[in-house]
Amino acid sequence: METMGKLRRTNMCGDLSMNDVNKEVVIMGWVQKRRSLGGLIFADLRDITGLVQVVFDTDYNNDAFEKAESLRSEFVVAVKGEVRERQSKNLDMATGEIEVYIKELKILDSSETPPIYIKDNDDVSEQMRLKYRFLDLRKPSMQKNLLMRSKTSKVIRDFMYDNGFNEIETPFLTKPTPEGARDYLVPSRVNPGKFYALPQSPQLFKQLLMVSGMNRYYQIVRCFRDEDLRANRQPEFTQLDLEMSFVDVEDVIELNERLIQKIFKEVRNIDVNLPIKRMSYQVAMDKYGCDKPDLRFGYELNNISEIFKDTEFNAFKSTLENGGIIKCVKIDGSAESFSKKGISKLEKFVKTYGAKGLAWFKFENGVLESPISKFLSENEINALMKSLNIKEGDIAFIVADKESVVNNALGALRIEIAHDKNLIDENTFEMVWITDFPLFEYSEEEDRYVAKHHPFTAPVDEDLDKLESDPGSCRAKAYDIVINGDEIGGGSIRITNRELQNRMFKALGFTQEEADEKFGFLLEAFKYGVPPHGGLAFGLDRLMMMLTNSDNIRDVIAFPKTQSASCLMTEAPAFTSDKQLKELGINVVE
RNA sequence: GCCCAAGUAGUGUAGUCCGGCCUAUCAUGAUGCCCUGUCGAGGCAUCGACCCGGGUUCGAAUCCCGGCUUGGGCGCCA
């Protein structure tokens, strides 16, 4: 192998163009592909900017040609040569109008045959990609994603700086949290038996920074949650976390809209019109069955409980008697595309969300078809047809169950059908703020109210009185930004009054002692003058999925974890030595 | 914790339902040779694989049981 010697790059591969013809250039990079024609060798040279064809010609420079015969894929080389206009241009290639005739070749490193191809859309398994991530990241699409992520961070930092935010770091070694996701724990060597937790978010620290008078804080920060993974969930992920003093809901939303607008403009050259639309939590649940509606298509849900209030049909009757509801989603004019087999697949689909079944009505060739029509009265059928405005070719799917199951199942079904029917345009971005979240939700498992957002979220002013009397109907000063059915960010105005915070803890079922033990430092800080404040956190990884049109979070993270939270490249997590465990005061299991 | 899908040369696959004709298909790759306008280069030759463990059977890539790994989903994710 050789060194670069005195050679230094004058140009990047992908930047060369007709403007460089006849110039002498030095470029360096990886051999994408060598094509030998005997006395003439072509090679595509790759660096982060792209590919350029280099030519080794016996008639031009025989020394370079002879060395080039040993070149193989992924060898690292430095070449000096002359840019020439091509005889036959390759218009599929960004630099296809030119090529570089090589007069000096230095082979800086060789390479074994790579276990995966270095090209996009290579069909290689996720397992191989992750094990050889350093090679996977050589692919243009992955480099493009990571560069876009880098640019997004820069746009964010510029915006935050220009708007008076201060970037302040908060600890990674912090205190286990009682509510919320499972913590990743870190044993303390000098405090045997005690543990730090990695932060699920810097929530309390950023609030304390407001108490400190830092006015506006932000951080692009890693957060950790020891929960099961999904296509858009990693155990460690990155948030743009921000907090502002002396603000209410409108101020936070207004600032963040401008940030979103700027990101989409500068990163993707997409115009986002402000203000972004708003929707209350209640409306979102009623119409879309979830608090992160995908608004790129219709298929709204309809509550049809009223129609069946006196029904004799047992399945509906008992549902209503037990406090459940009946909702449906109507699919316009495509009844014929739903075969019996297709419908039974959808039924199986909704069952994964807890629905007991999926009823349907199909109106085709003037005939109403339904597996349950014989159980319903003519009045009920007519009322249903009328209220849903069912026309020729329509089909409606119905789920009857308790409200959460109905919303869950039909909310997912409308998305599933939209996907099946290819209704979703990947290049549109439908954004919506979801507001007026409930402050609490009831946890059957714990038999108490838990915070819907988190325990530091302020109730809306009008609902303050109901904190004790009717917690279930209290709304929160909380808001989520949803893009294309994905929750991209969320936040709230915080409680800044010690008394109110104590009432909140009480409503959540904490005793004073528990509250003091878990959040004493916050309550202590609240004794000393707290400005009104609130903020928001964006899931940066999910935002990058949007911006890069990725359907998987791993494609926007350089070194992600697998579904079982391991890293196939480093083989983390790993067993450690008994010595290390003993030092940490952890009993060694024999 | 649960459900679903997958695991065959370096890589991607066919074969698996219905066991034997599998000495396992094809593509790509790698290696060597030929070739001065290729760019999905071409031609000739060669190389290379049934996830692990157990079982059924005369016989298992194929059937059964257990496990591991990867992906998707439910629960979970304040």
Q: Shortest CA distance to A249 belongs to which of A523, A52, A458?
A: A458
Contacts of residue A484, defined as CB under 8 A and 6 or more positions apart, other chains included, come to A294, A295, A296, A428, A429, A430, A546
* Residue whose entry in the numeric block shows the structure tokens 């608090």: A291
Q: How far is the CA of A129 from the C1' of B61 (A)?
A: 25
Mean per-residue pLDDT over chain A, rounded? 94
Which residues of chain A (6-45) touch nucleic strand B at CB < 7 A? 33, 35-40, 42, 44
Q: Which nucleotide is nearest to A353 (CA to C1')?
A: B74
Residue A480: CB atoms within 10 A of its CB come to 21
Q: How far is the CA of A564 from the C1' of B55 (A)?
A: 30
* Residue whose entry in the numeric block shows the structure tokens 């009857």: A400
- Greater confidence (A296 vs A178) lies with A296
- pLDDT tens for each residue of A433-456: 999 999 999 888 888 899 999 999
In this structure, is the CB of residue A139 within 7 Å of any atom belonging to strand B? no
- pLDDT tens for each residue of A307-343: 999 999 999 999 999 999 999 999 988 888 898 888 9
Cβ atoms of A74 and A119 within 8 Å: the answer is no
Q: What is the model's pTM?
A: 0.95
Q: Which nucleotide is nearest to A233 (CA to C1')?
A: B77
CA distance A504 to A498: 10
- pLDDT tens for each residue of A10-19: 999 999 999 9
* Mean pLDDT value across residues A387-402: 93
Q: Looking at residue A588, what is its pLDDT?
A: 65
Smallest CA–C1' distance to B76, residue: A227
Q: How far is the CA of A85 from the C1' of B74 (A)?
A: 59
Position A589 confidence tier, pLDDT thresholds 50, 70, 90: low
E runs forming strands in A110-173: 166-167
- pLDDT tens for each residue of A18-76: 999 999 999 999 999 999 999 999 999 999 999 999 999 999 999 999 999 999 999 99
Q: How far is the CA of A19 from the C1' of B62 (A)?
A: 61
Rg (CA), chain A: 30
Which residues of chain A (411-440) touch nucleic strand B at CB < 7 A? 412
Query: Is 90 exceeded by the pLDDT of residue A503?
Result: yes
